[in-house]
Each structure stands twice: as structure tokens, then as C-alpha cells.
Amino acid sequence: MNGTFSSRAALRLSARLLLAGQLLYILVTQLHAGGDANDHPAIFTEYADNGIWTAVHLGQFMSMAILLAGLIVLFFALDARAATARLVGLCGAAAATASLALYGVLQAVDGVALKQAVSAWASAPEAEKAARFASAEAIRWLEWGMRSYQDSAMGLASLLFAVSLARTAWVPRPIAYLMGLTGLTYLVQGWLAGSQGFTAAHSIAIVLGWLLSLVWMVWLAVVAWRMQESEFPSQNESRAATL
């Protein structure tokens, strides 16, 4: 398999993974228990009564893993010819890997620890409820911190890949701009989660990030399927550009 074909195949695989992961994540998140997430007494009651909590959070993790795998594959698909673009893309892949690790810990805190804590609080004798509630709230605040740093890592990965995309001649530059805007929304989410928790502003930033992501992911998928082998840089050209 030559370098030209492998670049096109990698781009198509990346587009599939990105779009599938984002769509699955949005779909699974619709099953998440709703309410004012910063009203802890009310929302903890909702969580304790939720029978699909663990399954939803496992689904979110799997969806995010697919999405971030798509970002990592994108690094290989771009096959950046300029040394700077290659280094930026490599840093983006590293940030995406860190984001996945952080998301795994986040879902362990939220999907497992918080669920056990709120269930214990809801079923505790009245004399124990205050202590149980304090424990659940401490885990919630830990979740804020994990979400803040995971969103920040995701935002950094998106921004780095946007820079690499912008320096790739055969990718329409507006895709890079939209990806960069998506990265900024993740950084905003990270700041809001860390400073205010899960507020209405945080939810708005999430939805905006979803919309921007879907636009550039669909656009990238269309580009991947329309491009011909001759439009990709040849293997020899890529080698020469790095010398």
C-alpha cells in the first residue's frame, strides 16, 4: 500500500471515527438524568433514582474514546510535510491521549463513585444523612475538577489540530477555523466547570461545541470521500519536505 492511498484511507477512517463518536456521545447524553446540576439535594435524588446511570456513563466513555481515536488517526492522515505542522500535530495527538485518560477518570468519579455516594445518602438513616450528603458533595466537587481539566485538554488538542489542519494545503481552511472555535468552546467549558460547576452557561457552551463539531466533522467527511489519490502529497514529496 503506497503512502498516497494510506493517507486517504486514514483520513476516511478519522472522519468516520470523529463523526460516529460525536453523534453517539450526543445521543447517549440525552439519556442522562436531567435537572439543575448545581442544586445538589434535588439532583442527587434524581441520580439516586436513576436505573441506567452506570450504562449511560459507560456509553459516554466509549463514545468519547471513539471520537478521540478519530483525532489521533487524523494526525497520521494529515502526514504533515512541514516540520512545524508535524510537531504541532504530534502535540495535538498527545493532548488527545491525555484527554482520554482524564475522561476515563472523570467517568469513574461520576459514573461510579458519585452514584454510590448519592445512593448511600438517599437510603441512609436520618442521623447519617448530613454526613452522607457531605461525602456526595465532595465527590461532586472532585467531578468539577476532573471535568475542568478534561475539557481543557480537549480544547488544547482541538486547537493544536486546527493549527496543523490550517497548514495542510489539501484541507479547506474553514474546517481548521471551525475546529479552532470548537477548541475554544472546550476551554470555556473547562473554565466554567472549574469555577462555577455545571451552570446554564456551561450547558450552552457544551451545545455550541457540539454544533461546531458536527459542522466541521461532516465537512471533513465530505472532503475525505471526494478527494482523489492524486490530490494527496506523494510519499516522496512528504519525505523531501522534511529534509
Instruction: Say how far apart CA 132 and CA 192 lie, in whole Å.
Output: 26
| Residue 81 lies inside a defined structural domain of this protein | yes
Q: What confidence tens digit (pLDDT) does each residue in 122-155 have?
A: 999 999 999 999 999 999 999 999 999 999 999 9
| Residue 240 lies inside a defined structural domain of this protein | no
Q: What confidence tens digit (pLDDT) does each residue in 43-102 have?
A: 999 999 999 999 999 999 999 999 999 999 988 887 655 677 778 888 999 999 999 999
> pTM score, two decimals?
0.88
- Residue 233: its pLDDT value, please? 55
Of 13, 1, 14, 2, the residue nearest 165 (C-alpha): 14
- Residue 229: its pLDDT value, please? 55
| Residue 235 lies inside a defined structural domain of this protein | no
Q: Which residue has the higher pLDDT, 76 or 183?
A: 183
- Residue 239: its pLDDT value, please? 40
- In terms of residue numbers, what domain contains 159? 7-227
- Residue 81: its pLDDT value, please? 57
Could you give the number of structural domains in the chain?
A: 1
Of 143, 136, 146, 128, the residue nearest 42 (C-alpha): 136
* Contact call for residues 35 and 42 (beta carbons, < 8 A): yes
**Mean pLDDT value of segment 170-183:** 92
| Residue 69 lies inside a defined structural domain of this protein | yes
Q: Residues 225-239, buried b or exposed e (16+ Cβ, 10 A)?
A: eebeeeebbeeeebe
- Ramachandran angles phi, psi of 30, nearest 5°: -65, -20
